[in-house]
Structure 1
Amino acid sequence: MSEFERISEHIYVMHAEHGTDRPLLAAVAGSSRTLLIDGGNSSAHAAAFREYLEREGVRAPDMMVLTHHHWDHSFGLAEWSLPAIAQRRTADILRGFAGLEWNEGTLERLIAEGVVSERTRADMLAEYEGDLSRIRVEEPNIVFERFIDVDLGGLTCEIRYVGGDHSEDSCIVYVKEEGTLFLGDALAPSVYGGPMKYTTGKFLALLDTVFAYGADVLVESHGRPASREAFYDDVRRYELLARQVLRHGSDKEAVLRDLRAELELGEDAGLPEELEEAAGYFMNGLEK
């Protein structure tokens, strides 16, 4: 069941749905323009959000920004028929996707090349009800390199390229007057082209960028909007983990021992499962 929410006076979201890898979609409505953040993973996903916005009487979207190229964020673009803003790498990759004939054979080849994963295949088949020929990929038509600002009338959206392990083209969107920062999947580990991994330097640099905004609300595409305090409490654990990896390198036992001490968990206490998993990702990121 799709869940929608107005998270501030000017921001409306469709929450993530994990069954077919639907990320959170957002609409930022200024006095003169409405900006969509991500297009959805299919026509059906996009249409559900559009219908919600219409029911709420939100100004019709005028443009869209893509946080990165991954299918779950971009394959719904064609449903909107809007000017679409994207980082140059995003536009280049989607241009290639737009020229493909989408079928099982294409997915097999992309999996072999490390462009998508077996999990992606399962999610695509579920979202498109087994008919991959329904996939329509469109290219973005407003391309930027590092930064671009969008004036919505009383609201400014600052769009910034940040990169990272999850996707080299990742961008974040800061709604300045609302103090709300949309992170896309920038802080997530890599998911394609080999074992999932975090590269310590990239992760810590991204955290520095995120913290510098001092946002009141932070929104990750596959999570729930979080207050600054809740977000920092959670992500600081991963920052401590990354710094222990910098200190100890591939000595995972030492990393986990000192992390437990910093978290005041005691020598015999186990780490939360998500931190144990993340430690493995950081170890993968150390391998050449």
Structure 2
Amino acid sequence: MLEHLNGRVWLYPHDPDQDAIRPSVAVIADDRGSVLIDAGNSPKHAREIQAAIAAAGLPAPRWLVYTHHHWDHTWGACAWPDVTVVAHSSAVPILTAEGERPWSHRYLHDQVKANPKLGPSFRARALAVPDWTDFRIVVPDQTFDDTLTLPTGVVLRHVGGNHAPDSLVAIDSGVVLIGDAFYPPPYHQRTSEDSADYAMIKQLLSERHDWYVDAHSPPRRRSAALAESG
């Protein structure tokens, strides 16, 4: 079920079950076509979000923005019809290479056997996609390098960071949608010295948005985000 957050921004909440790896997905509603922030972690997840958009009576998405290339934010894209997929330019070669991998349950199993650190992510992928028949990774249709303002006024800004080089934030109605931008690297690439990107957190807080939304936590008002940052 979609939850109204602020202004034009609605949120399909994240799944608190960490094994599921289901991030939140935002809808920025506009009569010219809504802007979807992230695709869901699978076609099944995407279809649930589509049903929630219809139930809320919101305009269908016309743009789909990837906050970054990781599977749980992009693998639902093949189930979104008639959208322009937007991402940072550095996502293109990464997703192109990902699209060439022979995704299947056997492939996931073999990859985990070769590198056990992939286990949490790849097991979640196997649960998310029970049938690979129509699955495909969607490469962006439109890219940018620094900033981009969509026709509906949604502002996208590349922030990069240690979690993913293509990370961007989306800003609208006093809300900043952060994806996983300030997170440490993914588990299989992480070392004991890696931590959250506190410089990025400090910068985002200095911009004084009303709401801060990362993809795997409940949304935070600025006062709560400041308190948590210390």
Would the TM-score normalized by the shorter structure come out above 0.5? yes
Amino acid at match of 2:136: R
* 2:212 counterpart (218, 230, 241): 218
Q: Take 1:74 and 1:208, find their aligned partners in 2: how far apart are those partners?
A: 27
Letter in 1 for 2:190: P
Size of the aligned set, in residue pairs, is 226
Q: Distance in 2 between matches of 1:26 and 1:214?
A: 20
Give the aligned partner of residue 256 of structure 1.
none
Are residues 1:170 and 2:164 paired?
no
If each structure's helix is expressed as a fraction of its own residues, which one has the higher value? 1
SS of aligned partner of 1:7? strand
| Structure 1 position 4, deviation (Å) | 2.9
- 8 Å Cα contact 1:101-1:133 kept in structure 2: no
- Check 1:207–1:9 CA distance in 2 against 1; reply closer, same or farther (3 A cut): closer
What is the rounded CA distance, in whole Å, between the counterparts of 1:8 and 1:174 in structure 2?
12
Check if 1:38 corresponds to 2:38. yes
Identify the structure with bigger relative contact order (alpha carbons < 8 Å, sequence gap 6+): 2
* 1:242-276, Cα deviation, whole Å (9 max, x unpaired): xxxxxxxxxxxxxxxxxxxxxxxxxxxxxxxxxxx
Q: Percent identity?
A: 24
Q: State the one-letter code of the partner of 2:212.
A: L
RMSD value over aligned CA atoms?
2.3
Equivalent position SS for 2:78: helix
Q: Distance in 1 between matches of 2:209 and 2:122?
A: 35
- Which whole-Å deviations, capped at 9, do the CAs of 1:89-140 have from their partners, x for residues lacking one? 21221111122221245336755897x82101110111123x4555321111
Contact 2:205/2:222 (8 A) holds in 1: no
Distance 1:169 1:51, change over 3 A: same
1:160 counterpart residue number: 157
Letter in 2 for 1:207: I
- 1:45-84 map, 5 Å: 45-81=45-81, 82-84=83-85
Determine whether 1:141 maps to 2:141.
yes
Which amino acid letter does the alignment assign opposite residue 176 of structure 2?
A: L
Check if 1:14 corresponds to 2:2. Answer: no
Tell me which protein shows more strand as a share of its residues: 2
Unaligned 5+ segments in structure 1 are 237-288
Match of 1:184 in 2: 179
| Amino acid across the alignment from 1:5 | E
1:229 aligns with one of 203, 212, 223: 223
Question: Partner of 1:166: helix, strand, or coil?
Answer: coil
Deviation at 1:209, TM superposition (A): 2.8
Specify every segment of 5 or more residues in structure 2 that has no aligned partner in the other structure, as ranges.
none
Aligned to 1:151: 151
> CA contact under 8 A between 2:105 and 2:126: conserved in structure 1?
no
**Letter paired with 1:210:** L
Cα distance between partner residues in 1 of 2:141 and 2:3: 29
Displacement of 1:151 in angstroms is: 2.9
Supply the distance in 2 between the matched residues of 1:14 and 1:26 (Cα, whole angstroms). 6
Question: Residues 185 and 194 of structure 2 are in contact (CA less than 8 Å); yes or no, is this contact kept in structure 1?
Answer: no
The structure number with the bigger radius of gyration is: 1
Q: Secondary structure at the match of 2:32?
A: coil
Separation in structure 1 between the aligned mates of residue 193 and residue 31 of structure 2, nearest angstrom: 40
Kindly state the Cα deviation for residue 189 of structure 1 after the two structures are TM-superposed.
1.3
Instruction: Give the TM-score normalised by structure 1.
Output: 0.72
**Counterparts of residues 234-273 of structure 1 (less than 5 Å):** 234-236=228-230
CA deviation profile, 1:17-53 (whole Å, cap 9, x unmatched): 1342110001101242310000011011011011111
1:197 Cα offset (Å): 5.5
Matched, 1:96 2:94: no
Q: When the two structures are superposed, what TM-score results if normalisation uses the length of structure 2?
A: 0.89
